[in-house]
Amino acid sequence: MTDLETRVTPPGSVTLRRAAPALLGYAAVRSLGLLALVLWSAARDKSAYTLLTARWDALWYTRVAELGYGYEVRLPNGDVHSNLAFFPLLPWLERLLHAVTPLSYADAGFVVSLLASLAAAWGVFAVADHVYGRRAGVCAVLVWAVLPVAIVQSMAYSESLFTALAAWSLYAVLTGRWVSAGVLASLSGLTRPVGLAVIAAVWAAAVASFVRDRRSAACDASPPYGVRPSGTRDVVPRAVALLLAPLGAAGYVLWVGHHTGKGPFGYLDVQAGWRNGFDGGYAFARFVADKFTSFPSALAGVGLITGVALLLWLYVVCVRQRQPLGLLVYTGVVLALALCASSYFGSKPRLLLPAFPLLLPPALALARLRTPGAAAVVGCLAVASAVYGAWWLNGSGPP
């Protein structure tokens, strides 16, 4: 490994000043994306702000914030779309901001998303900086900012809020701040169902640290995978983290079960009303296979297979680069939940947005380039992402 790959920063060193280049670069890239959306929407006589705040899932969140739970839509085919499918933290924040400012619920959702996206970028930087160094941290944030569907980071959706909570929870795990990791994991479980990935990461890292303590008689044993040794004095904080991490997700799921009168599995029934569930990837495989029934759609099928193969290859690279256990568990669960969901196949790219550890290998490659070359690569990708995001939202958009 190179020095760049093995550099580990001291805990607590990720100040705002240290992260400033990453955050400024992120803000510049996302501002370009928003500008492209405004211009494209104006040319099509549409409102860019409406696309960001008052369509698709954003509408469901604002309705929860304004009216609470209980709203549902019954479709002609018998399906029932209930707003209980949407976890409560984002609507709670929208309601709070609406209560203390003149902002509407939609405006509040947009502000929360913008602030959360910056917090997420800072968290991505913190994780990458801790494991691989500052330059790699900046590059990781920029790679996350130029993803094709990065426009979702600026929408009144929960992806940015979730990524912020997940990234900072993982950083807390890496630096031995176990109680903070548990609290943030619990909050992530109130944000999206994929909060399970953060819970699993906290549990895996805590259990692994307990095992290391039992195997090591020396308190200063060398920490594997760049994780600071916990030591027996951290037994209580780790145990607290194990207890705290699942409280958010478990609390909401149990409340839905009680609210619907269907017991602890009531949330699964709510998801079934949306024709969503977890089938191990069978429905997605059939969806891809159906693309090969004609020549034009076969190209899309090839693209989907290539994309999945790229994701799996990146995960293998993450393992071979010996990313910290918490990151590997988190990324693996996000991948599994996104790729093995049984519906909303067009949503999979945005469902993968929180899987930022997959971007660390390309971030390392970008960090090895000289600054002019790296800037040229990021600039080209930023323009492409901005154009694609504007075209996407003015077309089918995220379901």
pLDDT at 3: 37
pLDDT by residue (tens digit) across 365-379?
A: 999 999 999 999 999
Contact 144, 121 (CB under 8 A): yes
Residue 11 CA to residue 228 CA, distance in Å, equals 8
Domain segments of the chain as ranges: 8-274+368-393
pLDDT at 76: 86
pLDDT by residue (tens digit) across 221-258?
A: 455 544 555 455 678 999 999 999 999 999 999 999 99
Residue 264 CA to residue 255 CA, distance in Å, equals 8
Q: Is the pLDDT of residue 263 over 50?
A: yes
Answer with the residue of higher pLDDT: 113 or 342: 113
Q: Is the pLDDT of residue 208 over 60?
A: yes
Q: What is the mean pLDDT of residues 188-208?
A: 97
pLDDT by residue (tens digit) across 91-146?
A: 999 999 999 999 999 999 999 999 999 999 999 999 999 999 999 999 999 999 99
pTM score of the predicted model: 0.92
Residue 30 tokens read as 């996302």
pLDDT by residue (tens digit) across 168-189?
A: 999 999 999 999 999 999 999 9
Q: Is the pLDDT of residue 22 over 80?
A: yes
- The CA-CA-CA angle for residues 191, 195, 196, to 5°, reads 150
DSSP string, 38-92: HHHHHHTT--HHHHHHSSTHHHHHHHHHHH-S--EEE-TTS-EEEGGGS-SHHHH
Q: Bridge-partner residues for 278, per DSSP?
A: 341
pLDDT at 180: 96
What whole-number percentage of the chain has pLDDT above 70? 92
Cα Rg of the chain, angstroms: 21
Lowest mean pLDDT among 12-16, 193-197, 284-288, 314-318: 12-16
Q: What is the mean pLDDT of residues 249-270?
A: 92
